[in-house]
Chain A
Amino acid sequence: MSATTAIVDLCPTAPGGGGGVIGRTRRNPATSGAVRMNEDQTRDVIARAQKGDEAAFQVLFREHRDTVARVVHRVMGPSSELDDVVQEVFVQVFRSIGSFRGDSKFTTWLYRLTANVTKMHLRKKKSRPRFADVPTERLLEGESADDPRETIARNERVSALYRLVDGLSEKKREVLVLHDFQGWNAARIAEAVGIPVLTVRTRLFYARKELYAALADDEVLSPLVESLMHRLPGGAKKAKAAAKTNAKTKLMAEAGQ
């Protein structure tokens, strides 16, 4: 872990005092009493947690909860089970911290554990019947003052993209999500996942290729593809032709009814 990036609240507060909604009401480290933890402090906290020190567990949770939540959210997509999975990750961190030997960075170890818990959850979810996962009302909570229709449309597009991502193999999905949704570069993904950088790039290429081909056939995303095609040089002609064909088909269908 870099000595300059870890942020941790070393002064435990009252229960519930550190809660919040990241991404919307993100806590400001400068005002929340958070201090930067160097490598020695990190090692010390891990060693104390390995001995069963409750306060050290709390420090680990508070330091890494934002990162873990963000990774789980990006991997799973919109889901009402985000809280449960993040909590499960930390339960596993607490139970397995004894097996962390410091051979790799703690953040790498934590990522692998997070990825495993999330993968297990996704596998279980695949075997269950599928329902609309997050009610639109929840998605709208706390959204900015954008046009609500645009917010709903955006959420539908995001959900549609995750439906396509669900069709990728686990390996390709992991690399694509970390690169394109989480914003990590190939070197960081290679280290976290434990594969060569070249393999990251190869998986990313094939994952994207698979998704690109599926976008045009998705009923939620195909209008976006068409509108973007319209804006490309020479695309207006093709988009117009496609629109004409669609209108003709519609008229024929209505006439047939």
Chain B
Amino acid sequence: MTHSPKWRALIAFNGELLSVEGNERVERHLQGCDVCLEALAEIRAFDEVAHEVRESPVDVDFARMELALRREAKSIANRQRAKRGLPFVLAAAAVALFIGSQLIPSSATPVAVNETPDVVETLIPEPESPSVAGVVVALAGEVGERGLGAAVAEDEALSVDEGSLHVLMPDGSAFALSANSRVQTTRLREDELVLTLEEGRVTSDVRTGRSYYVDAPPYRIRVQGTRFEVRRDGEQVAVTLDEGIVEVLEGDTVVRHMEAPDRWSSHEGFEAAAQGEVLQPHVDGLEGAALELAADENIVRWEVGGLVLRGAHAAVMTAPGDYEVVGFDANDRRYEAPFALLPEGGHLEGSDLRAVRRAPRGGYLPPEAISEVVRPSYRALQRCYERELRQNNPSLRGDYALRVSVDREGAVSGVRVTTDSELPPPLRNCLARTAQGWAFPAPRGGALTFELPLNFSARPR
């Protein structure tokens, strides 16, 4: 009889973390269990090679690198100087003209002006349009200290660790910041709005024809009346356009002209959100009442009038009236409560929610999620077959299938190898052992079982 290796016990045994009794139990088990014996040898082999990795020298030629980096630093410094210097040069020229027109005859020799920038600013009127402020109209999870109804002004940093933050502008445009995201409100003006996305995801719903930009350096996304999401991770930027038209700029160059529905990514492998998966910003509620939703950790997602908010605690500004508030737990189980929101606001507790019965069903994992976990093991599965071929059975071939059970957390809870012919035990064990190592994302809706067909045949040499 074989079983899966008792990895946790063996790791603890190997790390000398068990009690005396625990040690003795594992030692007794090892006497009669080849599977765990081999697993322990594998753990020790890994430790040994990992130690060799830690001891391996780091061979870098810093001297050569330093020369190249000096050139880079110099060019950045020059660009910075040029950026700082340009407004001053222009301002100085304007001051010269201003003073010239007031005091100096036009035929006189130009006067060199050597004013400080502060003085210049007082002399030149700023042709800026008035600034505007947004309002937080919905939030969920960890969004810092900003509460419902808080103002969002120009040049402020917004960040969301978990959940989401929805900001509505006076003209009806809105943007929503998703989990693990940081954005700077670089410019909030009547005629122009610029958000700088530092990391994470921001979705915008632009209602008017004014200039609206999301900067995700080195790219700028220019929009006019549209709904789209920008996500950024370091240098990687991706855009998903649900409605309207946007342009992706790099400097002054249009990198991509997008018409909905469309997706674009700066780097291969950095995926834009799928169409339809873009977070919908909350675009009304400025005149609404505050609805606060508080549940224990059990509830992870709320739905109120079509708006989705992720987090145990959430709040939304919305029109007073009757609502069907829906909460979901981590297993996607649905809870509901009818709620009458009054003009002065309202508060709903998790205990007000009632579980909705539904027919039991199995869990679900998208095929691509299964494939992502399984694909890297194809070579290992092939090696199991080749080893059997080499050592015991040169004519072995056939159709097999791995029947893999995955528990609700994504761990493999059982593997069966099915075949239309007799399968040698070493091959069966090797295939099962490989599959035991897979770790999937937690399936939606609970545990599941899937079947992976395998077709092995010897390649002619």
Where the two chains meet, the residues of A that have a C-beta atom closer than 8 Å to any C-beta of B are 15-24, 51-54, 57-58, 61, 65-66, 69-70, 73-74, 77-78, 82-83, 86-87, 90-92, 94-95, 99, 101, 103, 112-113, 116-117, 120, 123, 127, 138, 141-143, 154-155, 157-158, 160-162, 167-169, 172, 180-183, 194, 205-206, 208-217, 221, 224-226, 228-229, 232-235, 238, 245-246, 249
Residues in A with CB closer than 8 Å to B40 are: 229, 232
Residues in A with CB closer than 8 Å to B64 are: 19, 83
Residues in B with CB closer than 8 Å to A167 are: 376-377, 379-380
CA of A194 to CA of B387, assembled, Å: 42
Residues in B with CB closer than 8 Å to A83 are: 60-61, 64-65
Interchain nearest-CB distance for A245 vs B (Å): 7
Residues in B with CB closer than 8 Å to A211 are: 46
21 contacts between A and B (CB under 8 A): A22-B58, A52-B80, A73-B60, A83-B60, A116-B233, A116-B235, A117-B235, A120-B235, A120-B236, A120-B267, A180-B50, A181-B54, A212-B39, A212-B43, A217-B387, A221-B45, A226-B41, A229-B37, A232-B41, A238-B38, A245-B391
Interchain nearest-CB distance for A106 vs B (Å): 15
The answer on a CB contact under 8 Å between B372 and A169 is yes
Residues in A with CB closer than 8 Å to B42 are: 212-213, 215-216, 225
Which residue from chain A places its CB closest to the CB of B387 in the assembled complex? A217
| Residue of A78, A92, A180, A213 with most partner-chain B CB within 10 A | A213
The answer on a CB contact under 8 Å between A229 and B65 is no
Query: Which of B70-78, B279-287, B323-331 is the contact stretch?
Result: B70-78
Whether A51 touches B48, Cβ cut-off 8 Å, given contacts A20-B62, A101-B157, A217-B384, is: no
* Chain A residues touching B, majority SS: helix
Where the two chains meet, the residues of B that have a C-beta atom closer than 8 Å to any C-beta of A are 5, 7-8, 11, 27, 30-31, 34, 37-46, 48-50, 52-54, 56-70, 72-74, 76-81, 157, 159, 180, 182, 198, 217, 233-236, 267-269, 372-373, 376-377, 379-380, 383-384, 387, 390-392, 411, 430, 433-434, 436-439
The answer on a CB contact under 8 Å between A214 and B380 is yes
Whether A23 touches B45, Cβ cut-off 8 Å, given contacts A16-B66, A232-B37, A249-B390, is: no
The answer on a CB contact under 8 Å between A94 and B30 is no
Residues in B with CB closer than 8 Å to A216 are: 38, 41-42
Which residue from chain A places its CB closest to the CB of B377 in the assembled complex? A167
CA of A95 to CA of B72, assembled, Å: 9
CA of A194 to CA of B200, assembled, Å: 12
Interchain nearest-CB distance for B76 vs A (Å): 5
Which residue from chain B places its CB closest to the CB of A87 in the assembled complex? B65
Whether A51 touches B80, Cβ cut-off 8 Å, given contacts A103-B159, A158-B49, A183-B54, is: yes
The answer on a CB contact under 8 Å between B62 and A65 is yes
9 additional A-B pairs beyond A87-B65, A249-B392, beta carbons within 8 Å, are A17-B63, A20-B63, A23-B56, A52-B76, A69-B60, A83-B65, A91-B69, A94-B72, A210-B437
Interchain nearest-CB distance for A27 vs B (Å): 10
The answer on a CB contact under 8 Å between A233 and B7 is no
Interchain nearest-CB distance for A188 vs B (Å): 16
CA of A155 to CA of B41, assembled, Å: 20
Residues in B with CB closer than 8 Å to A19 are: 61-66
The answer on a CB contact under 8 Å between B46 and A212 is yes
